[in-house]
Structure 1
Amino acid sequence: MTQDHPPRRWLRRTAVSMATLLVATLGVTVSAPAAHAATIDDFTLSWTSYPAADAIPMVKATMTAVLQDGNHTAAYRGSSCSNALGQSTPIAWYCFASTDSSSLRPGPDLDPTAWIPQAITTVSDALGDEEWNGQQGLIVGWYHEGSSGARISVMNTATDAYRHVLLANPYWDSALGRYNFRALNNLHVGGMVWYGDYLYVVDTNWGIRVFGMKHIYDLGASTNGTTTCSGIGWVDTADADAAPDSYCASTYKYAMMQIGFWQRPTASNSANFCLSSGADPRFSYISLDRMAVPDRLIVGEYCPADAAVNGRLVAYNMTDHVPTNGVPDAAWNLPVSNIQGAATNGINFYFNQSDGTTRNGNLYKALPSGSTLNLNGSPRKTPIGPEDLSIWQSSGHLWSVTEHITSGSSPGRMIYLMPSIF
């Protein structure tokens, strides 16, 4: 049953964007910062296409169909995750269904069955009118501690219902003589952007993976697919012939294929993250800046408090929904450490800073000045365990997700919405 709640005014389109209002009120003019040559070189990416994404012999589904096919329900302003609020006062929040709020990570030993949420993006990123065929929604990204790789949760904000979709890597399987797909293991899904027909997902050591909204396969509607086996790809479903005979997506109905990769020539070495010099780039989170012309992808690094630097932020100009040439056109040094997400309304930059499993995080605001980001005012408290940020373009409000479980002393896992003006 749909959760009863007041009208969601934060989802309504407005005639004038938040950035336009700020410019009119404050008289602020934003110019592109000078680029750090070394940082630009570090974050320069090249494109590789994955044509196998179109060749999996199954029935395709539309993103509209997935938005209408939720089989889990999020609780609007629910109590099961409210301990995560602490001292924070978000505009609203949603608790995940119980099966997604208690994937445990006990002690030093990680639970191999655990799914951990990290990323968020919304239909406000996807299209300028903030609707997808008349629907509004958001997507949360998760990584798996075991062998299931990565998934997204597509949520319809009119019904509070959501559906998990497996993210997969398509390829020609020469051993089986067919097109196949596999799990994206070691993909942290630290941030993502839904932009038109594409889903951009950061890969910590490599760059930005790209998935296709037109490359979603429906295993339930495909005669050669099944939703009852836990394997991934063309597998044996344990019937009488003991041979691979069906496509599976870890029991999920839908699988979305990677269509390409904006990547570095070699993988970053994690031992070289966050060094004062000679640092390898770390692709930790991503958001969309629709106030720039052209639109830009904003990508940043997570660096812990004991690192030599706070991390960097770069911007990629977009042409026809893809990075123009894989070369950032702007770069900044971050003003604080432990940043898990960044977004901008065209005037201010906003940063989510985590502070452990029991303390509220911080939402910082900063103004750019050349290659410097100057903190502007005191931070606002966020729920415990804040991650990626996504801005709702017309209102300026900020969506995020927390990663910590609901168990014992853990505070609770939620999607939440914060005001950007403070």
Structure 2
Amino acid sequence: MKHRGRHRRRRRGRALRATLAGTALALTAAATLISASQATVAETPGALRTVTSPSGTARPALAEHRVPERWLDRLAAGMGRPVGVGAVLEDADLPLHRAARCPAADRRDLPVAPAATRAYCFGEADTRGWRPGAVTTSGDADDDGRWGANRVVLSGWTRGGEGGSLDGPSPEQGLAKVAFVDADDPARPRYAWALLAVPVDGGRDYRGLVSPLSGMTWYQDKLLVTTRDSDRQGLYVFDLHRIQRASVASGAVGRVRGGWSAHGSRFVLPAVASYRLPAGGPRPAAVSLDRSTSPDSLVTGEWVPTDGERRTRLWRYALSRDPARSGLLSTGASGRAEPVAAYESKAADVRGVLARGSAWYLDRAADEPGAHGTLWRQDTEGAGAAACGPDETRQCWSGGSGSLSYWEETGEVWSQSGRMLFAVPLASVDRAAERSSDE
């Protein structure tokens, strides 16, 4: 086990980075034809503005609620001994396809600039009726980039079609599941599904997490996901050592005759905690990990539509250093996590957020279907983004913008657009942003 008391292995990623640099994929041949709808150069959001307000909706505190341990133990007693990530990967038999084998329509969702250095697509039949929304990796989980002996990518999906609204699907459709991708062999990645669930009835049963997944971070042994459910829970927390096996293959969710069902998934991941939003407070829509701070921190951003009347707000929350609270936010005596920093950005329709040092990276969605989005790099002094095409538009990022995750070992930013899962070197993003800022 790699949580409490584990030592962190810092492995050099030079050989892997050299391989990536030497095998940069010709992934964007189909994506270089930018539609006429993208002719207008995206208006720069300018510099971030620091929020100094001490409290209130500008700096929302998150109240931590833990699922009682006896509930989780009762669920395990009924379903069987929990398993870990390794057991899920052993069952991973669904293939991800390399970009060259993906449909041209899917490849058009890839960034134009900077170009992806690796990309894969999920099968259409396996994801029909599900919408992608969140990505994290074992590069978030541990600073050596591995979980145990494995490199892993987690891809979150929501039942309810492939629309782009963050309002999400209707409650009867909004199940959420995660693909556990075994990424040890970059030429043959494979995955298995786990349904996200919430224990109910004292742990005698569980319900599906009914919420679109717009952000997800794997830190130590916990998976934190953003939600838009009706009871003001802003984040749900799942323990990667408490994965349960489903025993009945059916479309039902929870306890059924003959065992336990997970809507067709082989595994169930029951929530162990949640963070509740203040009444009337803003709701985090994007989330990622920042290891450049001390302690490590969780960064979040809200979603504001392009015609909204206020700026997008961004927050940073410290993660706990207490071994007994591995993977959880740092809280005070009241059990509330207070932001340690807050900012505002003029960038609207932000679907993914990432922070490294003073720089924030905001993934802004395309203005219309079929177009490309913009990946802005912002700080308190200005903003920049890659330019591409004959008109030097900044709408060069992926088509269906998604969450962002930084893999420190390899220097890559992972994201997902439609059925495409892809990686881009952060150094390429920085170089492109610097050129854009100088123009």
Match of residue 168 from structure 1: 197
Match of residue 189 from structure 1: 213
Cα deviation code 1:210-254 (max 9, x no counterpart): 0111111012xxxxx32x221111124xxxxxxxx4211112110
Note if 1:180 corresponds to 2:186: no
Instruction: Give the direction of change, closer, same or farther, for the CA distance of 1:396–1:365 in structure 2 (3 Å limit).
Output: farther
In 1, the alpha carbon distance for the partners of 2:111 and 2:155 equals: 22
Instruction: Give the direction of change, closer, same or farther, for the CA distance of 1:377–1:117 in structure 2 (3 Å limit).
Output: closer
In 2, the alpha carbon distance for the partners of 1:418 and 1:44 equals: 33
What is the correspondence of 1:7-406 to structure 2 with a 5 Å cutoff? 9-10=16-17, 35-38=52-55, 43-51=60-68, 52-56=71-75, 57-59=78-80, 60-77=82-99, 78-80=101-103, 81-85=106-110, 87-88=112-113, 89-101=115-127, 103=128, 114-145=129-160, 146-147=172-173, 149-157=175-183, 158=185, 159-172=188-201, 179-185=204-210, 187-204=211-228, 205-219=232-246, 225-226=247-248, 228-236=249-257, 245-266=258-279, 268=280, 280-320=281-321, 321-325=327-331, 326-355=337-366, 356-368=368-380, 374-376=382-384, 378=386, 379=394, 381-403=396-418
In 2, the alpha carbon distance for the partners of 1:72 and 1:290 equals: 32
Runs ≥4 residues deviating over 6 A: none
In 2, the alpha carbon distance for the partners of 1:298 and 1:90 equals: 24
Task: Say which SS state the counterpart of residue 388 (structure 1) adopts.
Answer: coil
**Matching residue's letter, 1:330:** A
Task: Say which SS state the counterpart of residue 242 (structure 2) adopts.
Answer: strand
**Matching residue's letter, 2:380:** P
Please give the root-mean-square deviation of Cα atoms over the aligned residues, in Å: 2.5
Match of residue 46 from structure 2: none
Specify every segment of 5 or more residues in structure 2 that has no aligned partner in the other structure, as ranges: 1-13, 21-48, 161-171, 322-326, 332-336, 387-393, 432-439
**Matching residue's letter, 1:264:** L
In 1, the alpha carbon distance for the partners of 2:364 and 2:267 equals: 33
In 2, the alpha carbon distance for the partners of 1:364 and 1:8 equals: 29
Give the CA deviation at 1:148: 5.8
Structure with the higher strand share, 1 or 2: 1
In 2, the alpha carbon distance for the partners of 1:191 and 1:215 equals: 21
In 2, the alpha carbon distance for the partners of 1:264 and 1:365 equals: 28
Cα deviation code 1:113-165 (max 9, x no counterpart): x2111000010100111111111011011111244611111101124101110
Give the CA deviation at 1:42: 5.1
Give the CA deviation at 1:11: 10
TM-score between the two structures when normalised by the length of structure 1: 0.76
Note if 1:419 corresponds to 2:425: yes
Task: Say which SS state the counterpart of residue 204 (structure 2) adopts.
Answer: strand
Give the CA deviation at 1:282: 2.1
Match of residue 111 from structure 1: none
Instruction: Give the direction of change, closer, same or farther, for the CA distance of 1:207–1:160 in structure 2 (3 Å limit).
Output: same
Please say if residues 224 and 238 of structure 2, whose CA atoms lie closer than 8 Å, have aligned partners that are also in contact.
yes
Structure with the higher helix share, 1 or 2: 2
Give the CA deviation at 1:34: 5.7
Q: How many residues align?
A: 343
In 2, the alpha carbon distance for the partners of 1:248 and 1:261 equals: 23
Please say if residues 193 and 201 of structure 1, whose CA atoms lie closer than 8 Å, have aligned partners that are also in contact.
yes
Cα deviation code 1:383-410 (max 9, x no counterpart): 211111111123432111113xxxxxxx
